Structure 1
Amino acid sequence: MAEAEHTARALWNLIEPVHAVTYFAPRARAAFEEAGLRGFWRGYFAGRAAPLGEVGPGPVTAAFFGFAPAMVARALPGVWAMAAPGRALEARRAGAGAALEHLLSGYGRQVEEAAGLLVPVAREADCAGRVLAAANQALPVPRNAVDRLWHAATVLREHRGDGHVAALVAAGLDGCEVLALRAGVDLPRAELQPHRGWSDEQWQAARHRLADRGWLAGDGTATADGRRAHRALEEATDRAAARPWRALDAVAVDRLRRELTPLARACATALRFPNPMGLPAPAG
């Protein structure tokens, strides 16, 4: 991989745990419930979709990509009657901030340094064609250090995610097929299918379509061609994610990795591994 692509991959492994506390940390989930968004998926869909405004299921299904349309429609637009987008955004900020204050206690210097490096990258990232990244980038940058860190991490992870969706579309995959392919490579089906709302019939049909392309064997495991296709998708994602990191020189990248590493490890204690995001456990 080119250096910027390698940087994009390495830093995603460190940024994603910081962002993901909003889904998994108890304090973050409690904030959504206090806003009237009871149940994990109401908080998830309202919190992640809120930067887009009071949207319905169509745009969210398109932007989130891997979720079954019926699952999205069970949450949207109904969640906006429980908490309008502004309220959901405030609950997201307060919950993520409370979670990070708890998880990163004792890492104040690293939080300040990492936020100081990440915020300019997130602010200047080119978001053309990246709807979720652009919607989050347009939000005001918070003043509190942990909030700034979470905001920047979120813009950059959604930037990467938008590029990943583009790679999947270019490869001719639909939302269920990409999950079935990943299950055939390295993640348990139980971490993917139920958490994205696909029925057994839809999953089996997706596997048949992938088998017709020569990417899955009859038992659902990836063939050599399927593994090559998966690697190509990941490499395309890294290429699409690389551009913002070219603004940092090697010294700044090394410094950012050094400051983020203990933060990512601390945040990872609130996550589970394996997980539907495909995030690997931090080394060490």
Structure 2
Amino acid sequence: MDSAAAGRAARALELLHSFTYFAPEVHSELGELGLEGAAMKYVASRVAPMGKVGPGVATATFYNFAPRLIEVALPAAWEIAAPSEVYEARVRGVDAAMSRWLGADVIASQEMTEAAELAATVARSIPGVDGRALFAGYADQPWPEAPHLVFWHALTLLREYRGDGHVAALQGAGLSGLDALVTHTASGIGFSAEFAKANRGWTTDEWDETETALRSGGLINRAGELTGDGFEVRELVEDLTDDLAVGPWAAVGERAVERLLDLAVPWRDTIADSGPLPGRMFGPRFGDAR
């Protein structure tokens, strides 16, 4: 299995991890612990597997978030609940959300058990934690027992493993966290600029300054779109991201991955149709390409 095919598989399954950040059940469980506000819940629940870290570690591993947004959450969250409690609450919320969206029959099905086994096989084929700090935190967590949670945990491991490699690719291309976010939105196939600024905590002035610098560097034009050079840089980043994440997918082979997609994509579509994602989250060409 080549890296491009592996990248397509990873992107096809992305929502089956990323719903975690928007599911009401997850927010409710985190709120029961005393965590307040979307920023604190997101930051604390995502970084919790790394332990009681400070804002610098979270900013570094998340990469494209404004430091001030991280500082709202940490270390304040750890004064409310221990990282282990936060992570356990997140898993409880995922359990409830998947059960509601997919239904008891799917959760208890042989197909879910099979998908969990396939996804776990891919995730267990990840070659190691070298340079993958956020993935390493999740890899230290115990595997759940319920098949649907095994499935979710496996996809989360694969997501964070790929994400750590993506950060390395961005750094290799000389793109800061905000550079990466602005060029991502300029591509028209990912986040909208409005959502990215609000969700990642950047001010309009910071965004405009970065656009000016990228325009001077020839990566975006006056309309805020990628130039030819900008498109080439983003393609190189995505190609390298795929290359750095291909290992576990290639280890299990195309047939197993195709079977996993056959099982899981309908569940992804069910969740997508349920509307957990915020409105106006994506740009006008979302889904057209990488």
Fold equivalence (TM over 0.5):
yes
Where in structure 2 are there 5+ consecutive unaligned residues? Answer: none
- Residue 30 of structure 2 is aligned to residue 32 of structure 1: yes
| Equivalent of residue 259 in structure 1, options 257, 263, 281 | 263
Whether the aligned pair in 1 keeps the contact of 2:124 and 2:248 (CA below 8 Å) is: no
- Residue 92 of structure 2 is aligned to residue 88 of structure 1: no
- Residue 96 of structure 2 is aligned to residue 98 of structure 1: yes
Whether the aligned pair in 2 keeps the contact of 1:273 and 1:280 (CA below 8 Å) is: no
Residue of structure 2 in register with 1:125 after alignment: 126
Residue of structure 2 in register with 1:49 after alignment: 47
Whether the aligned pair in 2 keeps the contact of 1:16 and 1:279 (CA below 8 Å) is: no
- Residue 281 of structure 2 is aligned to residue 275 of structure 1: yes
* Count of residue pairs brought into register by the alignment: 280
Q: Distance in 2 between matches of 1:109 and 1:6?
A: 30
What do residues 192-245 of structure 1 show as CA deviations (whole Å, max 9, x unaligned)? Answer: 111111112211121122112200112322112111211221111111111111
What do residues 40-75 of structure 1 show as CA deviations (whole Å, max 9, x unaligned)? Answer: 111111110000000000011000001011111111
Shift of 1:14: 3.1
Q: Distance in 2 between matches of 1:149 and 1:33?
A: 25
Q: Distance in 2 between matches of 1:131 and 1:278?
A: 33
| Equivalent of residue 246 in structure 2, options 242, 245, 261 | 242
Residue of structure 2 in register with 1:183 after alignment: 185
Closer/same/farther in 2, CA of residues 15 and 91 from structure 1, 3 Å limit:
same
Counterpart mapping for 1:4-19 below 5 A: 4-19=2-17
Relative to the length of structure 1, the TM-score reads 0.92
Q: Distance in 2 between matches of 1:194 and 1:245?
A: 34
What do residues 110-139 of structure 1 show as CA deviations (whole Å, max 9, x unaligned)? Answer: 321111011122123122111111110111
Q: Distance in 1 between matches of 2:66 and 2:56?
A: 11
Moved over 4 A (4+): 276-282
Residue of structure 1 in register with 2:176 after alignment: 174
Residue 167 of structure 1 aligns with an amino acid whose one-letter code is A
Q: Distance in 2 between matches of 1:281 and 1:17?
A: 12
Identity %: 36
Relative to the length of structure 2, the TM-score reads 0.91
Shift of 1:275: 3.4
What is the root-mean-square deviation of aligned Cα atoms in Å? 2.1
Secondary structure of 1:20 counterpart: helix
- Residue 228 of structure 2 is aligned to residue 224 of structure 1: yes
